[in-house]
Structure 1
C-alpha cells in the first residue's frame, strides 16, 4: 500500500522560511549594519544639528525626530530592503530554484514578512535603547500609547513588506535595484515628515504624501512618542488615527493583491 504524503501547511512553510531568512540576514554584515544603524546615525545627526532647539513643552530635537526615525526604519526594513533583495534573488536565479520546490508564493511572502517583523522589532529596540540612554529621549509610559504603537507597527510593517514585494518587479536587474528603489524611498521620507516638521511642508506636498503609507506611519508614531498637545500641530488638529489605520490597511490589501498578480520567480528575459 502506498503512503499518502501530506504537504505542510502554508503557515508552517512560511514559518520555516522566516527562520531561514533571518539566519541569512545576519550573515550579510553590510545589510545588518545598514538596517540597524542607519536610523540611529541619522537621529544622532539631527540631535546634534538641532541640539539647542525645543519644539514646545520642553520636547527636545532628539525626542521630536525619534518617531520619524522609527517610521523610516520600518520602511527601510520592509519596502526598500525587500524591493532590492528580491530583485537580486530573482536576478541570481535564487527564486527560479525556489520555484521548483513545493513552496507557494504565499509561503515565500510570509517568510519575507516574518523577516521584516523580526528585524524591525530588533531595530526598534536598539534605537529606543540608544535614544533613551545616550540622547535623553523621553520614552512614553502610558499602556494606551504602547497598544497604539503595536497596531501601527504591525500595519506599517505588513503594508511596507507587501509593497516591497510588489515593487521588486520594477527594477530590470538586481544591479539596477538600488538605483531604482532608493530615490523613491528618499522622496517619500522628505515628503512624509521624517526629516522635517510635516506641517511646515507646502500644502501640495502634504497632499501627495497623504496618499502613501509612510506619512501615516510617521504621524502614528508621533502620536505615540510626542505629548498629546502636539496633535494640534498636525493638519486638522488631530492625529487622525482612524484615517491612518484605513490608509495603511488599504495599502496592505492593495499591495498583497498586486504582489500576487505581478510577482515573478524568474527574470524578464527568461520568459
Structure 2
C-alpha cells in the first residue's frame, strides 16, 4: 500500500477515536456551540451590533459572534486537538509502536489532517445549522461569499492541523499537554477578535494578534458573514482578503515545515 493510500485508510480510524473521547468532544467540537449560545444570551439585551445613529440596522449578537466561533472551531479542531492528542500518543507509547511499523510520518500526517478536516466540516456545518434554525441568524445568499468561506475554511483548517502537529512537540508528556496548549489557544482567541471587537483592543495587542493565523481566519469569516459596512471596523478599514490569503498561506508553509522538522516517533530526550 502506498504512502497516500495508507494515510487515507487511517482517516476513518482517527475520526472514530476522536468521537469516542468525551474530553475532546466537549473542548474542541462542542465548545464553539456553547460559547455562541452564551455570547448570544449575554449580549442580546444590549440590542444589535453596528446600529445606525437612528437605531436602525446592525446585526444581532449571535450574527456578530458567529464568524469568530467558526474561526475558533478551526483553531480548536486543528491546533488544540492535534497538539494534545499527539502529545498523548507520544507519552503512552502509541507513536513508538507506530514507528516500528511500515507507517511513514507522511501517512500519519494524512490520517490526522484528514480527521481534522472531516470533524471540522461537521462542526462548521452543524454550527451554521444551529445559527440559522435555532438562533434565527440570516446567512449569506451570494455565491462569492460562500466561495470566500470555502477557501478561508480549507486553508485555515490545513494550517491549524500542521501547527497542531508542530505544537505537539512542546509538551514533555501527555499529562502536561493540556496545561501547555489550552492557555495558548485561549489567549489567541481573546486577542484575535473572537470574543471581543478586534479594533477595541489596544493597538499593541492588535499588532501581536496579527502575527498569528487566528486573527486572519476570524477576519476572513467576518468578511463572509457580516455586512460590508462592518469592514470599516477592521484595522485597514477593509476586509483585506488578499492579506488574509497571504497570512494563512505563509502560516501553512511554516506549519508544514515545523511539523516535519519537529515530529519524532520518540522524543529525543526520552
Tell me the TM-score normalised to structure 1 length: 0.94
The answer (yes or no) to whether the contact 1:35–1:123 under 8 Å persists in 2 is: no
Does residue 40 of structure 1 match 2:33? Answer: yes
Structure 2 counterpart of 1:93: 93
Please give the alpha-carbon distance, in whole angstroms, between the structure 2 residues aligned to 1:10 and 1:30.
31
Structure 1 counterpart of 2:22: 29
The answer (yes or no) to whether the contact 2:44–2:60 under 8 Å persists in 1 is: yes
* Structure 2: gaps spanning 5 or more residues: 51-56
The answer (yes or no) to whether the contact 2:152–2:220 under 8 Å persists in 1 is: yes
The answer (yes or no) to whether the contact 1:36–1:126 under 8 Å persists in 2 is: no
Please give the alpha-carbon distance, in whole angstroms, between the structure 2 residues aligned to 1:36 and 1:254.
25
Does residue 242 of structure 1 match 2:237? Answer: no
Does residue 130 of structure 1 match 2:130? Answer: yes
The answer (yes or no) to whether the contact 1:189–1:214 under 8 Å persists in 2 is: yes
1:216-255 mapped onto 2 (5 Å cutoff): 216-255=216-255
1:47-58 mapped onto 2 (5 Å cutoff): 47-52=40-45, 53-56=47-50, 57-58=57-58
Structure 2 counterpart of 1:187: 187
The answer (yes or no) to whether the contact 2:74–2:120 under 8 Å persists in 1 is: yes
1:3-152 mapped onto 2 (5 Å cutoff): 8-52=1-45, 53-56=47-50, 57-152=57-152
* Structure 1: gaps spanning 5 or more residues: 1-7
Please give the alpha-carbon distance, in whole angstroms, between the structure 1 residues aligned to 2:25 and 2:181.
18
RMSD: 1.1
1:202-217 mapped onto 2 (5 Å cutoff): 202-217=202-217
Q: 1:54 deviation in Å?
A: 1.0
Tell me the TM-score normalised to structure 2 length: 0.95
The answer (yes or no) to whether the contact 2:7–2:111 under 8 Å persists in 1 is: yes
3-state secondary structure, aligned to 1:59:
coil
Q: 1:9 deviation in Å?
A: 2.2
Please give the alpha-carbon distance, in whole angstroms, between the structure 2 residues aligned to 1:127 and 1:219.
18
Structure 2 counterpart of 1:4: none
Structure 2 counterpart of 1:3: none
1:255-270 mapped onto 2 (5 Å cutoff): 255-270=255-270
Please give the alpha-carbon distance, in whole angstroms, between the structure 2 residues aligned to 1:41 and 1:206.
26
3-state secondary structure, aligned to 1:236:
coil
Question: Residues 15-55 of structure 1, C-alpha deviation per residue, up to 9 Å, x if partnerless?
Answer: 01111101211222332233332111101111111102211
Please give the alpha-carbon distance, in whole angstroms, between the structure 1 residues aligned to 2:150 and 2:104.
29
After the TM superposition, which parts of structure 1 deviate over 2 Å for at least 4 consecutive aligned residues?
Answer: 32-36, 267-270
Most deviating of 129-138 and 162-171: 129-138
Most deviating of 222-231 and 261-270: 261-270
3-state secondary structure, aligned to 1:211:
coil
Please give the alpha-carbon distance, in whole angstroms, between the structure 2 residues aligned to 1:30 and 1:177.
13
Structure 2 counterpart of 1:5: none
Question: Residues 187-237 of structure 1, C-alpha deviation per residue, up to 9 Å, x if partnerless?
Answer: 100000000001111100000000100000000000001111111111111
